[in-house]
Structure 1
């Protein structure tokens, strides 16, 4: 029975821890999803007894229904990443933290620090959209009092550890540190509201010309007539310079493309010319196909129509002429002789016959004639 009770007790504790973790996650998700709420003018009201926590207890962890209430205050003008990083450190200083951010009004800020760029309502609204903030206190006091800490049930105050001199005090957080309620955060170097304003003042002409270009009037920018004309003239000159620069870049790009194309064409022409010369040499060279075709065609022509008839051919033998019958007339013989020697004959011209053959040809008709007579 004792074991069963112990098991039930353990289960109950586990369920409570799970519910607490779910509640913590739900509150964290709600803070990431929805804008932070504004603090009530009457202060924080809770049914749970709000006992003072030590830093050791807060770092060990607290139940979900008793988060550690950490307070961070400031002006938060031109809300930037340095502000967000400081609030992130304040939110994560303890495992279960409810972060309250106090924002001073314009009246207090202009009195003790100086003129702001953003109004107090704009600064209030900017803080509600920071994901680390759970609650925003408007018109926060410049110096924290005991009444204010009790009213909002504040456990600890988060700020950077550099002494903050203001309102005749060397450190406005001195009494908080002495009470053991101070937790330090680290500043982000290189970014602050004063740095941003310095950049704007340094580049004043550039921003005035920028806003004139965007449609703001000289009266809205508090710029005189002469300065307005000067800035507008500078804008026109910058436009012309930009146009010339654009044309130069385009022309350079065009020339570069033309050069690339020309190099490609020259390379292709060289390749084609080499290919053409190689084909020409293969065809018409000393060992080319054209000479082989010519030799073959010459052999074929010589075989079909030789240049000279061989010796002893029937057309040139004297016996054929002698064998003419007595009835044949000398005119027929002469006609046949002329036909055989005419240039229009199909056979190529005969080469000059030897001397013996000439004598036989000249003597043969005489014998034929004497025989006929």
Structure 2
């Protein structure tokens, strides 16, 4: 696990939030969610899961973006102060103490997947009273972005086939 920062350390008394996930295909839904997190805590640390962990809980074809791309996308967001690369799936008390977090935040629109042993990855944060859920107010997901790309690709291919056929028909008629 490595930390990668924007260079600003939390100031004394500042509320610190920890949020973890894939953050694949960074989109406006992520931004809306992180803005809500930032309204609760002005220093937001994002834990980016490894490709292996994302592949386990999202499926074989995920993540779409590399770890490097996901980290840079998240760091470009104005509501993010720091990134933890290769964050663990289960959040331990030790990690929360190390990061000095006041809140561990999860989005309500993303179901919590249990750990491989069946336990809740947020159990320690809940036990310590640090767990919070936030609703981004936005339905966009990486899945919906992918569906849109696939749908538009088919339309684009059909349009090009139609144009090609019209050109062939013109060439044959002359």
- Residue number in structure 2 paired with 1:187: 136
Counterpart check, 1:167 vs 2:133: no
Q: For residue 232 of structure 1, report the CA deviation from its aligned partner.
A: 5.6
- Residue number in structure 2 paired with 1:290: none
Separation in structure 1 between the aligned mates of residue 66 and residue 167 of structure 2, nearest angstrom: 35
CA contact (8 A) 1:106 1:116 kept: yes
Distance 1:239 1:154, change over 3 A: farther
- Residue number in structure 2 paired with 1:147: 94
Structure possessing the higher relative contact order (Cα contacts under 8 Å, 6 or more residues apart): 2
Distance 1:83 1:238, change over 3 A: farther
Distance 1:238 1:199, change over 3 A: farther
CA contact (8 A) 1:112 1:166 kept: no
CA contact (8 A) 2:29 2:141 kept: yes
CA contact (8 A) 1:127 1:133 kept: yes
Q: How many positions carry a matched residue from both structures?
A: 159
CA contact (8 A) 2:47 2:84 kept: yes
CA contact (8 A) 2:93 2:124 kept: no
Structure with bigger helix share is: 1
**Contiguous gaps of at least 5 residues in structure 2:** 169-174
**Contiguous gaps of at least 5 residues in structure 1:** 1-36, 40-44, 47-63, 210-229, 241-373
Q: For residue 165 of structure 1, report the CA deviation from its aligned partner.
A: 2.0
Distance 1:236 1:105, change over 3 A: same
Q: What TM-score do the two structures reach when normalised by structure 2?
A: 0.77
- Residue number in structure 2 paired with 1:113: 58
Separation in structure 1 between the aligned mates of residue 143 and residue 167 of structure 2, nearest angstrom: 32
Q: After superposition, what is the alpha-carbon deviation per residue over 1:40-64, rounded to whole angstroms, capped at 9, x for unaligned?
A: xxxxx99xxxxxxxxxxxxxxxxx5
Counterpart check, 1:71 vs 2:6: no
Separation in structure 1 between the aligned mates of residue 48 and residue 57 of structure 2, nearest angstrom: 14
Aligned-residue RMSD, C-alpha: 2.8
Q: For residue 193 of structure 1, report the CA deviation from its aligned partner.
A: 0.7
1:201 counterpart SS class: helix
Counterpart check, 1:87 vs 2:34: yes
- Residue number in structure 1 paired with 2:70: 123
Q: For residue 105 of structure 1, report the CA deviation from its aligned partner.
A: 1.6
Distance 1:237 1:166, change over 3 A: farther
Q: What TM-score do the two structures reach when normalised by structure 1?
A: 0.38
Structure with bigger strand share is: 2
- Residue number in structure 2 paired with 1:102: 47
CA contact (8 A) 2:114 2:121 kept: yes
2:65 counterpart SS class: coil
